[in-house]
Amino acid sequence: MFSRGQLLEKFIPILLVITVALAFLVGVLWQKVTLLEGGKASGTALAPSDQGPAEINGKLSAEQAGKVEKPSDKDHTRGSLDAEIFLIEYSDLECPFCKQFHATAQQAVDEYDGKVTWVYRHFPLDTLHPKADKEAEAAECAFELGGEDGFWNLVDKIYEVTPSNNGLDLTKLPTYASQVGLNQAAFKTCLDSGKYQDKVEEHYQQGVTAGVTGTPGNFIMNKKGEVWVIPGAVPFETLKLTIEEALKS
């Protein structure tokens, strides 16, 4: 028979091994969530999986730049397609980093006054935020009913009211649509139909092809088609440095 002290001596090393293993697993899971929800939180932005981590604010190779779809009249834009610079954002309406970056992107549009156009594309991380897909569809219904103004007004409203991380009450989306001037009944009919599921998925797959691995997945593109990757929810001053580089290139 072992005494209580002897039993403790035998089991303490085993418990220590288990504790270390659990700590490692928790760390790995936390890192994955952080990388998905904005490279800024982790200090890096991931490039396509076959290239490893990208240089922060790094200019993409011509080959990789060609995988970022050029803005067109199919996109939702704040600004003209004749602008010198495009800020292309792949975004998730339930991502807290996207909510943070939303104001930064608007600041870029305002301060560059016609030189920068903001392009918004959907990239819902539905494994983390199951509600984000429906919110993206809601934005498309807003576009159907109210054009670009309807789209952007509802996107602005969602970022204003959502606590992020899957916190929005989806049943309130028709109310929010009404608050930004859309017909509530028509909006609900559109949203319930699921007619924009394929469009949201198309945006998502475009992002995957471009190398987006988290949100906000941002790119700066100039008129030459040169592209710079932006690592998540960077502050305006960091974004400005890349815009200035793209303007001079």
Residues 133-188 have pLDDT tens digits of 999 999 999 999 999 999 999 999 999 999 999 999 999 999 999 999 999 999 99
pLDDT tens digits, one per residue of 108-121: 999 999 999 999 99
Separation CA 176–CA 170 (nearest Å)? 10
Identify the DSSP state of 87. E
Looking at domain 37-248, its CATH architecture is 3-Layer(aba) Sandwich (3.40)
For the chain, which residues score pLDDT lower than 50? 2, 4-5, 7-8, 15-17, 19-56
All structural domains of the chain with their residue ranges: 37-248
Q: Would you state the pLDDT for residue 14? A: 54
Helix (H, G, I), strand (E, B) or coil at 220: strand
pTM > 0.85: no
> Is residue 37 packed enough to be buried (19+ CB in 10 Å), middle (13-18) or exposed (0-12)?
buried
Q: Would you state the pLDDT for residue 231? A: 84
